[in-house]
Structure 1
Amino acid sequence: MIESFETFLAVAAAGSFSEVARRQDVAVSSVTRKIDALEAELGSKLFHRSPRRLALTDAGEQFLPRARLILGELAGAKEALNAGDAEPRGLLTVTAPTVFGRRHVVGALASFLRRYPDIEVDLHLIDQIVDLSEQRMDVAIRIGLLPDSDLRATTLAQVRLVTCASPAYLARKGRPHSPEDLLQHDCITVASPPAPGFVWRYAGVNRNQPLPVRGSFRTDDKDGMLQAALQGLGVLHIATWVVCDQLRSGELVALFPDEAGAPSSPGMPGIHAVRLPGRSHATKARLFIDHLRAEIGDTPWWDRMLQQDRGVPA
């Protein structure tokens, strides 16, 4: 039965009996027999089959997350039994957004590997959403509002936004005293439509709708936005985890001080670690997620620093 579950998940991911047979180095008929046996056991067809296309049925769609969960629980139990008191070892694969990964994941991985020297890590920094099953990833760091899925998610921190600019820009253009004043300023914005929660929205301003700010420089790269702000190209509205160091050094100035490091509002996007049930490396994934969460802290260390600078008790 377990082999049938594993074959079902492999076929669902590949969309092909022959591709799974090729990967497993078995005959296509062997893969087909396992799916036939599983369908007979469940009393439901799991795939629509035709010479040109293989697709999950409604029953297959419903069974897919349950199969992953069952195999995940089994793999976790097996790994826990085999591990005993032994130190965790082997490969852990992690993916994270490029800028967040460089600034906050690499350091956490360094201390994680010092703590667990028998573990090896492959870190993939990429801004696109990675299919954990297809790419065989153990942990993904994702920033934003998570859609419903069968992934196991752990919230690491809430995102807090701050509006800031360089002293050179403020000397040249003047300092905005309220969010409405931003409409008269050069604002560094994204080149593509912003994700929900990352727009220029301020409580009680513009009927709580996003401000239609404009500027001469746009980019989708957070480091590019930061460098543009440091060069005095305009006002920046960005997550505190990006600009904490520059705010503390004075290279950037928070325009509305109560905003920086203030408690996040409901509905704000979060920073999450997600993993897929069914991976055999569940114990290592949980260990790393717990380690990363502890490194960041209940109040993220970058927000805690800004609160301390403002004289707010940590």
Structure 2
Amino acid sequence: MIESFETFLAVAAAGNFSEVARRQAVAVSSVTRKIDALEAELGSKLFHRSPRRLALTDAGEQFLPRARRILGELAGAKEALHADDGDPRGLLTVTAPTAFGRRHVVSALASFLQRYPEIEVDLHLIDQIVDLSEQRMDVAIRIGLLPDSDLRATTLAQVRLVTCASPAYLARAGHPRSPEELLHHDCITVATPPAPGFVWRYPGVNRNQPLPVRGRYRTDDKDGMLQAALHGLGVMHIATWVACDHLRSGELVALFPEEFEAAPAAGLPAIHAVRLPGRSHATKARLFIDHLRAEIGDTPWWDRLQPGST
């Protein structure tokens, strides 16, 4: 029965029998027999089958989340039974936004794997939101406001923004002494409307509304913004976790005093690690989230590395 459940999930994800048979290195008839047996056991057709397409029936759609939950709970129960038998082992799947993953998740995974030599990790760096259940992911790193869901979320850090520019740009265009002066500077902005927590807003400035800054260079890529600022194209307003190394080295200069760059209040964007309750590998997921949280620290290390910080 368990093999039939696993085959059902694989066929539902792949959308055809042939791909599942190829991955499992078995004949297509072996896959179809398992689905036939499961449908007979359940007394319901799970797939609409035709020469051109394979699609879930209404019964299949209803059964899909239950099958995932059953397999997840079974795997979690097995993992719990063997948790005390020795070091954690097996595969952990993690997804994270590309820029944050390259800068901060990979280094945390390196020390995590050194600590737990029997664990393997698949890391997927992608900027789109991944459905943990559908993609069989154990942990996702997400930045921003979390919608209501059944995911278990652990806050890793609040997002803090910094306004900065290169010494070359400041030597050419002058050093803005207040946020209002940014209206007369080239500002590196996003090509699409930013999330509410990432606008150019400063306490007590412009009635606490976003400043309508402008510039000749726009991009939705954080590394594209960073490189543009380093090359002197303008002023950048970005998360400290992106710019921290360059602020520390002096390649970028923070423009405003602390009162203008205060940490966001509650309800504004944060960095979270989320996992799906009942998902297999729950023990490894919790271990990694705890490890990542410890690596970042109560005050994120990228904020402790700012000039003048301790």
Q: For this structure pair, what is the TM-score category when the shorter chain's length is used for normalisation?
A: 0.7 to 0.9
Residues 32 and 225 (structure 1), Cα distance of their counterparts in 2 relative to 1, 3 Å cut? same
Q: Deviations over 1:16-43 (max 9, x none)?
A: 68876886753536425535654x6xxx
Q: Deviations over 1:212-242 (max 9, x none)?
A: 2111112222122112112211110000111
How far is 1:198 from its partner?
A: 1.6
Query: What's 1:115 paired with?
Result: 115
Matched, 1:31 2:35: yes
Contact 2:95–2:137, Cα closer than 8 Å, also in 1: yes
Query: What's 1:132 paired with?
Result: 132
Superposed counterparts of 1:219-258, under 5 Å: 219-258=219-258
Matched, 1:195 2:195: yes
How far is 1:289 from its partner?
A: 1.4
SS of equivalent to 2:154: strand
User: What is the rounded CA distance, in whole Å, between the counterparts of 1:155 and 1:301 in structure 2?
Assistant: 15
SS of equivalent to 1:76: helix
Question: Normalising to structure 1: TM-score of the pair?
Answer: 0.80
> Aligned letter for 2:130?
V
Superposed counterparts of 1:99-114, under 5 Å: 99-114=99-114
Give unpaired runs (5+ residues) of structure 2: none
How far is 1:108 from its partner?
A: 1.0
SS of equivalent to 2:137: coil
The more displaced of 28-37 and 265-274 is: 28-37
Contact 1:240–1:260, Cα closer than 8 Å, also in 2: no
The more displaced of 20-29 and 141-150 is: 20-29
How far is 1:284 from its partner?
A: 1.8
User: Aligned pair count?
Assistant: 304
Query: What's 1:186 paired with?
Result: 186
Q: Deviations over 1:177-229 (max 9, x none)?
A: 32222121100112233233222222343343322211111222212211211
Q: Deviations over 1:246-281 (max 9, x none)?
A: 222322222222158733222221212223445432
Residues 55 and 203 (structure 1), Cα distance of their counterparts in 2 relative to 1, 3 Å cut? farther
User: What is the rounded CA distance, in whole Å, between the counterparts of 1:147 and 1:10 in structure 2?
Assistant: 28
User: What is the rounded CA distance, in whole Å, between the counterparts of 2:57 and 2:197 in structure 1?
Assistant: 34
User: What is the rounded CA distance, in whole Å, between the counterparts of 2:134 and 2:207 in structure 1?
Assistant: 43
Give unpaired runs (5+ residues) of structure 1: none
Matched, 1:153 2:156: no
Identity between Structure 1 and Structure 2 (%)? 79
Contact 2:20–2:31, Cα closer than 8 Å, also in 1: no
How far is 1:46 from its partner?
A: 9.8
User: What is the rounded CA distance, in whole Å, between the counterparts of 1:291 and 1:261 in structure 2?
Assistant: 28
